């Protein structure tokens, strides 16, 4: 219907940071608060969708009507995403996934060594969750985020093509008051239109409003181009 254009659609969203253990008490992570991903989840419910939110560790309440799946590491997030991707119509990767994890997390707490002033940590690449979802035979419509500190649109276009996404939300995370941890965000939406790439620049605004703009744009693409 007009008010609930996402009625009948299953939407899966990743949000927040991942935590990659170094030992039982330490980890590698980043400053994602989950606000953007949670705003997308709330907006998708308001539009009528069945919403699954795969969340890294954040301090936010679960939005009304959302089914939340808590995870910690990128590997946990991948497992949840693969499981929930069946019958999924729209997948949105908003999580700030750690690109690397410790190759071998220590079983016991790492001790400070008095005889060494430096220590080396060996990292290995994490799986690319959104690229795995986009590579599925039964792929949903896939929206990725691009968090950049420069050349926003160029890197955004590159991610759209390289990860085979349907849409990219490229946000500038170098500006105070926008992006990581903030209540507001600004972004350029990029999507494939035949062989061309179309764009829609969204000015700074509350994450809730940007979330709605992203979803409405995606729904109109989904209805015209994707899976009959
Ligand atoms: O959580 P907030 O504080 O509200 O902040 C929101 C945000 C800035 C984190 C969010 O808007 C955002 O930009 N999220 C993506 C951050 C990011 O990690 O971007 P990226 O350029 O590294 O990754 C590109 C895309 O690939 C993203 O959709 C990401 O979810 C996905 N990815 C990346 C690496 C990986 N191993 N697996 C992935 O799925």
Q: How far is the CA of 94 from the centre of ligand 1 (A)?
A: 5
The reply to whether 109 falls in a domain is: no
The reply to whether 107 falls in a domain is: no
Q: Is the CB of 134 under 6 A from ligand 1?
A: no
| Mutation to probe ligand 1, out of 130, 165, 172, 187 (largest number of atoms < 8 A from CB) | 130
| Buried-state track 91-123, b at ≥16 Cβ within 10 A, e below 16 | bbbbbbbbeebbeeeeeeeeeeeeeeeeeeeee
The reply to whether 145 falls in a domain is: yes
Q: Is the CB of 211 under 6 A from ligand 1?
A: no
Given a cut of 70, is residue 70 above it in pLDDT?
yes
The reply to whether 110 falls in a domain is: no
In the structure encoding, which two tokens stand for residue 44, read together? 């998708």
Tell me, what's the ipTM? Answer: 0.98
pLDDT attached to residue 226:
54
Mean pLDDT (the chain) is 95
The reply to whether 106 falls in a domain is: no
Q: What CATH number should be reported for the domain holding residue 214? A: 3.40.50.10300
| pTM reported for the whole predicted model | 0.96
Q: Which domain holds residue 130?
A: 10-100+124-225
The reply to whether 65 falls in a domain is: yes
The reply to whether 25 falls in a domain is: yes
Q: How far is the CA of 95 from the centre of ligand 1 (A)?
A: 5
Per-residue pLDDT tens for 20-46?
A: 999 999 999 999 999 999 999 999 999
Q: How many domains does the chain have?
A: 1
Q: How far is the CA of 111 from the centre of ligand 1 (A)?
A: 32
Rounded Cα distance, 56 and 177, in Å: 22
Name the residue with tokens 């409405």.
216
The reply to whether 60 falls in a domain is: yes
Q: Is the CB of 171 under 6 A from ligand 1?
A: yes
Backbone angles phi, psi at 114, to 5 degrees: -75, -20
Q: Is the CB of 35 under 6 A from ligand 1?
A: yes
CA-based radius of gyration for the chain: 18
Name the packing angle between helices 35-46 and 207-225 (round to 10°): 60
Rounded Cα distance, 180 and 177, in Å: 8
């Amino acid at each position: 219907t007009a008010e609930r254009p996402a009625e009948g659609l299953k939407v899966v969203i990743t949000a927040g940071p991942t935590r990659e253990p170094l030992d039982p008490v330490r980890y590698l992570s980043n400053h994602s608060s989950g606000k953007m991903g949670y705003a997308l989840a709330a907006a998708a419910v308001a539009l009528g969708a069945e919403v699954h939110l795969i969340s890294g560790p954040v301090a936010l309440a679960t939005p009304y009507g959302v089914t939340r799946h808590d995870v910690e590491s990128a590997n946990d997030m991948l497992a949840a995403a693969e499981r929930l991707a069946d019958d999924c119509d729209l997948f949105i990767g908003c999580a700030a996934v750690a690109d690397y994890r410790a190759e071998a997390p220590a079983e016991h707490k790492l001790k400070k060594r008095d005889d060494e002033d430096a220590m080396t940590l060996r990292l290995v690449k994490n799986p690319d969750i959104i690229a795995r979802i986009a590579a599925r035979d039964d792929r949903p419509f896939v929206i990725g985020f691009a968090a950049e500190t420069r050349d926003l649109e160029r890197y955004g276009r590159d991610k759209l093509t390289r990860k085979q996404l349907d849409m990219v939300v490229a946000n500038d995370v170098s500006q105070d008051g926008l992006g990581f941890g903030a209540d507001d965000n600004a972004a350029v939406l990029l999507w494939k239109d035949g062989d061309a790439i179309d764009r829609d620049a969204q000015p700074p605004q509350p994450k809730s409003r940007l979330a709605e703009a992203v979803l409405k744009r995606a729904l109109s693409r989904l209805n015209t181009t994707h899976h009959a």
